[in-house]
A and B are shown apart, each in its own frame.
Chain A
Amino acid sequence: DAGITQSPRHKVTETGTPVTLRCHQTENHRYMYWYRQDPGHGLRLIHYSYGVKDTDKGEVSDGYSVSRSKTEDFLLTLESATSSQTSVYFCAIGAVLGGYEQYFGPGTRLTVT
């Protein structure tokens, strides 16, 4: 298995509070991604990074920000959590030269009350 960890694995928070999810990889892959998974929607890309300090928006980026100060860490921040951000969040890593497949972390279940 690819070395990808996510923390925390579960979190319950209140509306309006800031939340940061962490993704850590040991594979030295260039690309890192944050997705959310909701019933009936599959996985949707929030933000991604193509290098240290290089990030870009995905399909559903409103209300989220990211940062990548080291190759191995990619942080997802909800500045002011809303109930619509209740979801399962997945981090993934990828290496284009390896064939474009992405490997996923175990996911974080976030509940905003």
Chain B
Amino acid sequence: AQTVTQSQPEMSVQEAETVTLSCTYDTSESNYYLFWYKQPPSRQMILVIRQEAYKQQNATENRFSVNFQKAAKSFSLKISDSQLGDTAMYFCAFILTGANSKLTFGKGITLSVRP
């Protein structure tokens, strides 16, 4: 079974600074996708970024980028130029490729951006 671990329950960052959220996962498979989801106080789950395991290049979406280390099974999210609207809970998630695959989530990390 696949597992996703987010070991930091909470983090805080000053507005405009950079913060990195950690995630590790465990699988014996080689074909999979990784995601970061954001859940602001509104409770809506929002997809932030996606990484395909077969791609060596790290995914980037505007101020959000990942550091994907396949051998180490590590998938961290870097948020640059943090904004107050980045305050949210962030979930790391993993899914194997193939029909009827299921998404496995970490327990999440609460990020607070200080003004």
Residues of B participating in the A interface, judged by any CB pair closer than 8 Å: 33, 35, 37, 43-47, 50, 52, 91, 95, 97, 99-103, 105-108
User: Is A12 part of the binding interface, using a Cβ–Cβ cutoff of 8 Å?
Assistant: no
Which of A33, A50, A102 sits near B99, CB closer than 8 Å? A50
Which of B35, B103, B107 sits near A40, CB closer than 8 Å? B107
Is there an interface contact between A100 and B33, defined as CB atoms closer than 8 Å? yes
CB distance from B13 to the nearest CB of A (A): 22
CB distance from B81 to the nearest CB of A (A): 24
The distance in angstroms between the C-alpha atoms of A110 and B107, with both chains bound, is 20
Question: A42-B108, A43-B105, A45-B103 in contact; A100/B97 too (CB < 8 A)?
Answer: yes
Chain B interface, DSSP helix/strand/loop, else mixed:
loop
Q: How many contacting A-B pairs (Cβ < 8 A)?
A: 50
User: Is A64 part of the binding interface, using a Cβ–Cβ cutoff of 8 Å?
Assistant: no
Query: How many residues in A have their beta carbons less than 8 Å from beta carbons of B?
Result: 24
Question: A42-B108, A58-B102, A106-B43 in contact; A100/B95 too (CB < 8 A)?
Answer: yes
Which of A42, A58, A101 sits near B35, CB closer than 8 Å? A101
Q: Which residues of B contact A41 (CB under 8 A)?
A: 107
Please give me the residue from chain B that is nearest to A107 by CB atom: B43
Please give me the residue from chain B that is nearest to A90 by CB atom: B45
Question: A90-B45, A107-B44 in contact; A100/B101 too (CB < 8 A)?
Answer: yes
CB distance from A74 to the nearest CB of B (A): 15
Q: Which residues of A contact B108 (CB under 8 A)?
A: 42
The 0/1 profile, CB within 8 Å of B marked 1, for residues 29-41 of chain A is 0000100000011
